[in-house]
Amino acid sequence: MTKPRVAVLISGRGSNMMSLIEAAAAPGFPVEIAVVISNRPDAHGLARAQACNIPTRSLDHKAFPDRAAFDAALDAVLEEEQVTLVCLAGFMRLLTSGFTQKWAGRMINIHPALLPSFKGLHTHERALAEGVKIHGATVHFVTAEMDVGPIIMQAAVPVLEADTPDTLAARVLAQEHVIYPAALRLVAEGRARLDGARVAIDEFEITPPALVVPPAP
């Protein structure tokens, strides 16, 4: 049986993309990573995907007159590649509402904060500045509004007294790499379904929809 074809959209180093590629390489994972697409031709993640024999496409957003034209080209690549699910993994472009509507329920994103807190950029700096004691990451369905879509899975990590943005980012990133493949599996298997503004999660055996990681000893 052929597996659903997933596109991973990146703009940079692609560590979350790698976590998806590695998970999908395991027997029994329910999707195939069919293509990696970057809006930046120099994204390091492109070379990493190629090293894993994953086809890559580069769509330089600067070559398009506006967002709608870029999104139309992106949509054409997704159709051409017969993609049915899209994973944004450090993809640093806002998408038009037409595009997000077309892919509603079939496009997910990972955000380095516990949404709905700390939408947008520089989440680790802002978490430290606010003095929160728990921080984390969220996988959610993508809607027209940035970092707002229905939540599929979250991981929480402690914020330690000595943290810098870099140490906190590293602790969160390690959990991103756990929950992104797990959330993709739930979506691909139809066990995480859009239910209005929420995501209904069916019975799970292995992967909880939230992970709480204890402080290091």
Of 9 and 192, which CB lies nearer to ligand GRF in the complex structure?
9
Sign, CA torsion 122/125/129/134: positive
Q: Could you say whether residue 16 binds ligand GRF (CB under 6 A)?
A: yes
Q: Is residue 15 a contact point for ligand GRF (CB under 6 A)?
A: yes
Tell me if 12 contacts ligand GRF by CB under 6 A: yes
Q: Is 127 near ligand GRF (CB under 6 A)?
A: no
Active site residue 111: yes
Point out which span in 8-16, 22-30, 78-86, 159-167 binds ligand GRF (CB under 6 A): 8-16
Residue of closest CB approach to ligand GRF: 90
Q: Out of 61, 111, 124, 135, which one is annotated catalytic?
A: 111
Q: Does 13 bind ligand GRF (CB under 6 A)?
A: yes
Angle at 76 between CA 144 and CA 196, to 5 degrees: 30
Kind of pairing, strands 198-201 and 192-195? antiparallel
Distance (Å) of CA 210 to CA 66, 88, 93, 124, 154? 38, 20, 27, 19, 5
Among the residue ranges 14-22, 72-80, 99-107, 208-216, the one whose residues contact ligand GRF (CB under 6 A): 14-22
Print the SS3 string covering 151-201. EEEEEEEECCCCCCHHHHHHHHHHHHHHHHHHHHHHHHCCCEEEECCEEEE
Within 10 angstroms of residue 217's Cβ, the number of other Cβ atoms is 3
The annotation places the binding site at 14-16, 67, 92-95, 109
Task: Cite the active site residues.
Answer: 111
**Can you give the binding site for ligand GRF, defined by CB under 6 A?**
10, 12-17, 89-90, 110-112, 173, 176
